[in-house]
Amino acid sequence: MKPTLLVLAAGMGSRYGGNKQLDEVGPSGETIIDYSIYDAIRAGFGKIVFVIRRDIEEQVKERFVEKLKGKIIVDYVFQEITNLPEGVIVSPERQKPWGTSHAILVTKDKIKEPFGVINADDYYGVESFKILHDFLVNDKDQNCYCIVGYKLGNTLSDHGNVNRGVCKVGSDGLLQNIAEVRQIEKTHDGAKAPGSDGKDIHFDGNEIVSMNLFGFKPGCYDFLGKEFRNFINKNGMDLKSELDIPTSLDIFVKNGNITIKILQTNERWFGVTYREDKPFVVESIRKMIRKGVYPARIY
C-alpha cells in the first residue's frame, strides 16, 4: 500500500495577513501546495488528505480535488473546535483550533496506512519527499517514526522571526528530544531567540530543526489521543493554548513509546510566513523551472 501525505492547511495565516495556503506563487497560478503535491506524486505517495477549515472547502475542492482527479486520490477533513474527546469540558468562548497534534487526530478515520505530514505553506524540496517516502515504505517498525530534518540556517526568513522545533540527535541518529523555540530571527553569524531567563539563545545555523515534515505510522493515533485528552483536561478553559506536534513527539520519546529517526535533507526551505517573503518564493520557483526541476505548468 502506498503511503499517504497529510497536508495541514487549516492555519489562520495571521502573520501573513491573508489566506497564504492558497496564494499563487507559480507562473501558471500554482500554490506552494501544488509543488509539494507534485513532488509527493513523483516520490510515490498514493493519497493526499487535507486538513482544512470549512470556509475554504469550496476553494480546496476547486483548486485541488478537481485538478488532481486521475493523478492521485484526494480527500479532506475539517479541523474544528468541536472535534473533542467525549466528556471533556472546554471554554465556550474558545475560537481557535487546538493545534497541529489535534489536526492529525481529526484524520483518524481517513488514514489507515503510514503517512507523511507537511505544512501547506512550506516548500520542502524534491529530495525531502523522496527521503520521507522511502522511510514510510521501507521501515516496518510500527513504533518508529521519522522527522526529515533541516539545518536551521536553511529555514530562516529575512522578514521576521519564526518558530522551529530544535532537535537533539543521538549518535545513533535517533531523536533524544525536541524543543519548540519561538521567535528565532536571523543574525549576521547565525540566529538568535529570546530565552526564558530574558537572555538571548544563540545558534550557529547548523542545528537540526523540524519543519513539520514527519513520517508517522497508524499507531500514532492512540498515542496522540491519550496525550490530547490530558492536554484538554489541563487547558480546556484556555482561549489560546495549542498542542503542537513537536511537544507531543518529545513526550512520546521520553516515555519510551516510540523512536524517531532524524533523516537529514540538504534542501533549503522557503515559505510565506510573512507577505514580504512572497517575492523570494516566486523567484525561487522561477529558477527551478528554468533548471527543469518543475514544468512551467503543473496541471
pLDDT score of 16 more than 90: no
pLDDT score of 127 more than 80: yes
Q: Do residues 51 and 118 lie in contact, with contact meaning Cβ atoms separated by under 8 Å?
A: no
Give me the pLDDT at residue 55, please.
Answer: 87
Q: Give the residue, 18 or 14, on which the prediction is more confident.
A: 18
For the segment 100-119, what is each residue's pLDDT rounded down to a tens digit? 999 999 999 999 999 999 99
**Is residue 295 assigned to a domain?**
no
pLDDT score of 17 more than 80: no
For the segment 183-237, what is each residue's pLDDT rounded down to a tens digit? 999 999 999 999 989 899 999 999 999 999 999 999 999 999 999 999 999 999 9
CATH of residue 182: 3.90.550.10
**Is residue 299 assigned to a domain?**
no
Q: Which three cell numbers stand for residue 12?
A: 489562520
Give me the pLDDT at residue 20, please.
Answer: 62
pLDDT score of 4 more than 60: yes
- Per-residue pLDDT, averaged over 53-80, amounts to 92
Query: Comparing C-alpha atoms, which of 242, 210, 278 is closest to residue 19?
Result: 278
- Between 8-12, 66-70, 127-131, the lowest mean confidence (pLDDT) is in 8-12
- Per-residue pLDDT, averaged over 283-287, amounts to 96
**Is residue 296 assigned to a domain?**
no
**Is residue 38 assigned to a domain?**
yes
pLDDT score of 59 more than 60: yes
pLDDT category, 12, cuts 50, 70, 90? very low
- Mean per-residue pLDDT of the chain: 92
Domain limits for position 241: 4-290
- With pLDDT > 70 as the criterion, what percentage of the chain qualifies? 96
pLDDT category, 11, cuts 50, 70, 90? low
Q: Which three cell numbers stand for residue 146?
A: 521519522
Give me the pLDDT at residue 292, please.
Answer: 97
CA distance 280 to 40: 23
Q: Give the residue, 120 or 19, on which the prediction is more confident.
A: 120
Q: Do residues 171 and 165 lie in contact, with contact meaning Cβ atoms separated by under 8 Å?
A: no
For the segment 219-234, what is each residue's pLDDT rounded down to a tens digit? 999 999 999 999 999 9
Give me the pLDDT at residue 272, please.
Answer: 81
Total domain count, the chain: 1
- With pLDDT > 90 as the criterion, what percentage of the chain qualifies? 76
Q: Do residues 107 and 5 lie in contact, with contact meaning Cβ atoms separated by under 8 Å?
A: no
For the segment 137-180, what is each residue's pLDDT rounded down to a tens digit? 999 999 999 999 999 999 998 888 988 989 999 999 999 998 88
**Is residue 41 assigned to a domain?**
yes
Q: Give the residue, 267 or 179, on which the prediction is more confident.
A: 267
Give me the pLDDT at residue 18, please.
Answer: 54
